Amino acid sequence: MSAANSSIALDAMGGDFAPGATVDGALLAAGAGVDVVLVGDSEVLGRELNQRGGAPSRIRIVHAPDQVGMGDKAAMEVRRQRQTSLYVGTELVKSGDVGALVTMGNTGAAMATALVVLGRIKGVDRPALGAVLPAAGEHVLFLDVGANADARPAHLVQFAHLGAAYMRSVHRIESPRVALMSIGEEPSKGSMLVTETHELLAKDARLNFIGNIEGRSLLSGEADVVVTDGFTGNVCLKMAEGMVTVVFDQMRTVARSSLRAKLGGALLLPSLRGVRDRLDYRHYGAVPLLGVDGAIFIGHGRSDERAVANALTNARHAVEQRMLAALTGAITGHEATP
């Protein structure tokens, strides 16, 4: 893949609200200076763009007549469906025509397609999904959040190296602090997977391993990378998203409960909106699939135009920071300088 190519492909047919939300998001990103390649049915996408005043110079269309459904069986049909927007977009990454692909479509199908078309980085056993979350400091990368429900200690060590390389290259953290998710800070606490992984991480001189971290400290800023298996990570991530929704819904209800509350709410509203935006998944747009031999970013199926635009912008930033070279170097032990 050409490191100089920072145009981003978008699976324009993927997601619950495609192609409307994907086209709107692409227009927002293009307005912010991102070169976007819309991959999908050219007739449908052309009509969507014409309804919005036409395609700006930073947007072009690559035709893909089919699309991947959101059902569970979609991942099983990847090899047979080579004209889908997801497959064609991934092939654009492989050929170097684009720097990365963003999809809001079926997560399982996106991972399966990436493995079929791109393959793994040499030395990687399993790729991992990494979610960039707001922390007390700047950000924390939490992985795996869904690619591997079951994992072995060696896999978690690879996740740690991939995560550290991502934070070095994309977020410019010189020596990312790596922590292991557990039920206690002591090395002996946790499942057999956790205790065995802790032993391996503690011996790895290439990592700045700071030990175990509990769930309550995930967003504390104590660590820059937090590693776990995909089952645990996915549950934690979805619980956190649900909690944000519940908290702000409760605050909205209380703020409307009396005149005094309404006055107080009006004063706090600007600050609360800032907090909400920082915690909103749409601020980050999509999560990177780390470990495949190309830049793939996967977002929520329910993403709106804001999430799509942010995903495209963040994907371009990762490409410009040579994310893939950093990930490859982290596994081989010869990581390139960002």
What is the arithmetic mean of pLDDT over 263-277? 63
Mean pLDDT of the chain: 87
Contact yes or no for 308/104 (Cβ under 8 A):
yes
Contact yes or no for 123/332 (Cβ under 8 A):
yes
pLDDT of residue 289 exceeding 50, the answer is yes
Q: In the prediction, which pLDDT does 76 show?
A: 66
What is the arithmetic mean of pLDDT over 93-120? 94
Q: In the prediction, which pLDDT does 155 show?
A: 96
Within a 10 A sphere around the Cβ of 283, how many other Cβ atoms? 15
- The larger pLDDT score, comparing residue 313 to residue 2, is at 313
Query: Is 286 inside a domain boundary?
Result: no
From 281, 302, 327, the end of a domain falls on: 281
Same domain, yes or no: 166 and 24: no
Confidence class of residue 297 from pLDDT cuts 50, 70 and 90? Answer: very high
Write out the residue range of the structural domain in which residue 54 sits. 1-124+291-338
Confidence class of residue 2 from pLDDT cuts 50, 70 and 90? Answer: very low
pLDDT of residue 275 exceeding 60, the answer is no
As a whole-number percent, the residues of the chain with pLDDT over 70 amount to 86
Q: In the prediction, which pLDDT does 256 show?
A: 74
Each residue of 64-95: pLDDT tens digit? 998 887 665 666 666 677 889 999 999 999 99
Same domain, yes or no: 118 and 151: no
What is the arithmetic mean of pLDDT over 116-144? 90
What is the arithmetic mean of pLDDT over 96-117? 93
Same domain, yes or no: 57 and 38: yes
Handedness of CA 157, 201, 323, 313 (dihedral sign): positive
Reported pTM: 0.86
pLDDT of residue 261 exceeding 90, the answer is no
CATH of the domain at 332: 3.40.718.10
Q: In the prediction, which pLDDT does 72 show?
A: 54
Same domain, yes or no: 114 and 138: no
Same domain, yes or no: 156 and 272: yes
Q: In the prediction, which pLDDT does 133 show?
A: 86
- As a whole number of angstroms, the distance between CA 180 and CA 144 comes to 11
pLDDT of residue 141 exceeding 70, the answer is yes
Structure letter (DSSP) for residue 121: P
- As a whole number of angstroms, the distance between CA 95 and CA 193 comes to 38
Q: In the prediction, which pLDDT does 244 show?
A: 67
As a whole-number percent, the residues of the chain with pLDDT over 90 amount to 62
- The larger pLDDT score, comparing residue 189 to residue 180, is at 180
Contact yes or no for 131/234 (Cβ under 8 A):
no
Confidence class of residue 336 from pLDDT cuts 50, 70 and 90? Answer: low
Q: In the prediction, which pLDDT does 3 show?
A: 44
Same domain, yes or no: 107 and 246: no
Query: Is 25 inside a domain boundary?
Result: yes
- As a whole number of angstroms, the distance between CA 116 and CA 60 comes to 26
Same domain, yes or no: 310 and 274: no
Q: In the prediction, which pLDDT does 179 show?
A: 97
Same domain, yes or no: 276 and 149: yes
What is the arithmetic mean of pLDDT over 36-49? 96
Confidence class of residue 1 from pLDDT cuts 50, 70 and 90? Answer: very low
- The larger pLDDT score, comparing residue 279 to residue 78, is at 78
Same domain, yes or no: 113 and 32: yes
Same domain, yes or no: 92 and 173: no
Same domain, yes or no: 135 and 202: yes
70's CB contacts (< 8 A; 6+ apart) are 16, 105, 106, 301
What is the arithmetic mean of pLDDT over 301-308? 91
Q: In the prediction, which pLDDT does 208 show?
A: 97
How many domains is the chain built from? 2
What kind and span of H or E run contains 251? helix 230-255
Question: In what order do the strands lie in the sheet containing 8-11?
Answer: 59-63, 36-40, 8-11, 100-103, 296-299, 286-290, 128-134, 139-143, 225-227, 177-181, 208-213
